[in-house]
Structure 1
Amino acid sequence: MSVRVVVADDQELVRIGFGMILQAQPDIEVVGEAGDGAEAVDAVRRLTPDVLLLDIRMPVMDGLEAARRVCAESDCKVVMLTTFDLDEYVYDALCAGASGFLLKDVRRDDLVHAVRVVAAGDSLLAPTVTRRLVADIVRRRRAEAAAEVTPTRLDGLTAREVETLRMLARGLTNAEIATTMFVSEHTVKTHVSNVLSKLGLRDRVQAVISAYETGLVTPGGGEHNDPS
């Protein structure tokens, strides 16, 4: 079954270029395009794609609001497109439910890989730039969120689940976590599922943000051994 994709960008050449790259893949089908945020939301409602490539800075309705609506209304995975790797809206987009982001100068193979990864239910955490971006923006936002987000959010997690969350924040895959914890990948998947469920999170990207915000992991690689 093909991965159904909608490409939303106010620059026609970008839409066409990304569409041609994706449509050339045997397992990906571009089912629609959108030139602004409102059109993107409407396209997702009408076409029920698996993945929405969505520019952050859009006319009529910006990409952030569009992402928030799409993630709230559907199971469509959202990948934000941005020109700058430190776009101030990326953090908000991830918190709104986006599964990751891509720079607009992304390589052809990386674009295709990203769509497949997100469609499979994973998040764009592997690239170093993603982890660096999340860490940088969370560091600047933690002071603002301190009154609302506290380490007590982690009190409901077991020790194993806390350790799993810590490793997710470091960017480890399920296989790598399994090796480190000396358990099966199935067990890791269960831990990840429990973490997301208990913390009310949509996916692994939001789990990483939560780990930084609660102080379980700090920008620069420091970690707290006791989340409470």
Structure 2
Amino acid sequence: MEVERLRQRAKKKLLRVTFPDGKVICCSKSVNTMIEALVEIGAERFPSIEMTMCHLPLLSKTIYPQYKEWMKPICDGWYLNTQADTETRYMQLRSISQQLSLGLVLEMGVGFEVQAASTTEKKQRTRDRLVVRFADGECFDSVRASETYLGTIKKLGVETIMRKHIPWGNYDLITSTQQTKYQVQIGDNRWVTVPTTTKDKARVLKVISAMLHIKIEVTCL
């Protein structure tokens, strides 16, 4: 009976994720911590994550019928198969951090300060949009500015932009190999830098537009 009481009092382990910029995510449930961390990482990087759960991709844009009760929405139409415990989620995030060179600090234990799910922050991200209109009438207006940014670059021409050697930081905007953690793959042996702020994304697109002499209308919402 005494052993049973001790088991009932035992605190469940929490998962805490700290990003290189100091942002800390620690929810009362490890599944919420993982989802919040994935939202922070950004959907544009999800295709580069090579990980499976139950012999199927861990992250998917479709709901697997046999696991539909465990498929939880992340963002931008992506779902996470949450059929895992805290220890497994710790290892999954550790692997994701290594694959994407994110430099996350991952901790598992008790006594961490717990945060509520950042509903307000998610709403702010939704409002932080980038709209690009081309002269031919085509418009890129995704919920996430990163998707609009990448779609615009593809339409402008990855190879054409690469030949211009547009600088961003210490490297060209588009390189043949990944040079920084802020780059995502946009084609075979092509990696493009994705600025962290919407204003910087807009600024890059305006520079590209000017250098290619292609008129586009770039608006931050």
Range into which the TM-score falls when normalised by the shorter chain: under 0.3
Higher strand share: 2
Larger radius of gyration: 2
- TM-score, L = length of structure 2: 0.25
Higher helix share: 1
